[in-house]
Amino acid sequence: MSQAICTLKKGEGRTIKGGGAWIFDNEIASIVGSFTNGDIVIVRDFDGYPMGKGFINQNSKIRIRMMTRRADQEIDDAFLRQRVKHAWEYRKTTVDTSSCRVIFGEADFLPGLVIDKYEDVLVVECLALGMEQFKHKIVEILKALLLEEGIRIRGVYERSDANERVKEGLPKHKGFLGEEFDTNVEIVENGVHYMVDVVNGQKTGFFLDQKYNRLAMQRICKGKRVLDCFTHMGTFALNAGIAGAREVTGLDISQYAVDQATENARRNHLEDIVKFRCANVLDELPRLAQAGEQYDVVILDPPAFTKSREATKNAIKGYREINMKGLKLVKDGGYLASCSCSHFMTQELLEKTIKEAARSTHKRLRQVEFRTQAPDHPILWAADESYYLKFFIFQVVEEK
């Protein structure tokens, strides 16, 4: 079957020429041949030079997502198996694979697809129309690869309910891929036990990307009084508790999250040390400061304040405000962990914003370390969108 041929405008295609995966609508000069949205098309440069193959969607500003740099490559079962095998081999080399992200979209050269493994359960998120035709096959390939290593997957659940689906012209979808199963999964990470609800939890059920950042906080929190803001399932708080913190408080605006976190504390026999309460962090931090509360460690892990470039200005104000409020609660010589999970809040912007917050609160910061997302969420240097998590640990000292 002949495939449509997409030709780029002269001077365009800088992203894919640099190793990225996206071609935008305004970069295309012509498309010759018939196609349906989601089909694989051949991509050529303005002079006819072959650039590879990708799937097209005229509903999206990201018009083509590249699957391969070889224009003669067949996108068949053998090709998909190679992609999945390479992704799994990489995880086995770089992370604890008991629970991890196995497929990370463009960074694993399978654009628009995320697959997380929670012990013996897989959770799939498909965000691109063209990947819909491959997701079932990829899941079956992955299950077969895992079974070869003695890992039997008991169930697969799809969490394709993100807003990005709408931009692709796709409906949001949640449901079982295959037979139904108990969707509450107990996992162990850094020695902490959690019950993950893959149906109702955030994203695919749990934030795996902070795994080693949580581990890094364990050595900071031993014997300390800790405040964990935006605690969600209590992850940083429980890592502090299991490391031997003296007292830990976790705050979250969601009562559902607080209930889950409290249950996780009991699961780890930490309920006497690690406690949670439902509160709006932005309101609660000034109240704590007014009451004279001080902590050895304050952890700020807010949700993304911006998911678009246009909203970055307001996001900067939000990050500055939360860091100012957090800094006021850190004892002299104590520690602040501060992060952003927004791709548009770059490392440089976050550094500048935290520096302004420190200046405004008359605090001096000594950087302990800077971290990013866990290696199972690899950062593809040619794809800026794959780099989103920035995580700083500082010692906070008074200006003297």
The fold adopted by the segment(s) 207-398 is Rossmann fold (3.40.50)
Q: Please check the confidence at residue 73 and state whether its pLDDT lies above 70.
A: yes
Structure-model confidence comparison of residues 238 and 203, the more confident one? 238
Alpha helices in the chain (DSSP H): 14-17, 77-94, 129-148, 164-167, 211-221, 235-242, 255-267, 281-290, 312-327, 347-360
Show me where the domains of the chain are located: 5-68, 77-186, 207-398
Which pLDDT belongs to residue 367? 97
Percent helix, strand, coil in the chain, to 5, is 35, 30, 35
Q: Determine the CATH number of domain 5-68.
A: 2.30.130.10
Q: Which of 13-22, 88-97, 278-287, 301-310 has the lowest mean pLDDT?
A: 301-310
Q: Determine the CATH number of domain 77-186.
A: 3.30.750.80
Q: How far is CA 197 from CA 194, 268, 323, 329, in A?
A: 10, 17, 30, 33
Which pLDDT belongs to residue 243? 98
Which pLDDT belongs to residue 313? 80
Contact 9, 31 (CB under 8 A): no
Instruction: Give the model confidence (pLDDT) of 220-263 as tens digits.
Output: 999 999 999 999 999 999 999 999 999 999 999 999 999 999 99
- Stated pTM of the model: 0.94
Q: Which are the contacts of 218, defined by CB distance < 8 A and separation ≥ 6?
A: 190, 239, 240, 242, 243
* Nearest of 272, 212, 205 to residue 232 by alpha carbon: 205
Which pLDDT belongs to residue 14? 86
* Nearest of 243, 255, 339, 350 to residue 296 by alpha carbon: 243
| pLDDT band at residue 23 using 50, 70 and 90 as cut-offs | very high
| pLDDT band at residue 203 using 50, 70 and 90 as cut-offs | confident
Q: Which of 224-228, 244-248, 291-295, 307-311 has the lowest mean pLDDT?
A: 307-311
Which pLDDT belongs to residue 304? 76
Instruction: Give the model confidence (pLDDT) of 364-373 as tens digits.
Output: 999 999 999 9
Q: Residues with catalytic annotation?
A: 341
Which pLDDT belongs to residue 35? 95
Q: How many CA atoms lie within 13 A of 78 on its CB side?
A: 2
CA dihedral 224, 225, 229, 235 (to 10 degrees): 50
Q: Which 8-state DSSP code applies to residue 27?
A: G
Instruction: Give the model confidence (pLDDT) of 113-154 as tens digits.
Output: 999 999 999 999 999 999 999 999 999 999 999 999 999 999
Which pLDDT belongs to residue 2? 62
Sign of CA dihedral 38, 59, 72, 135: negative
* Nearest of 56, 53, 122 to residue 87 by alpha carbon: 122
* Residue % of the chain over a pLDDT of 90: 88
For range 308-330, the mean pLDDT: 87
The C-alpha atoms of residue 208 and residue 2 are separated, in whole angstroms, by: 42
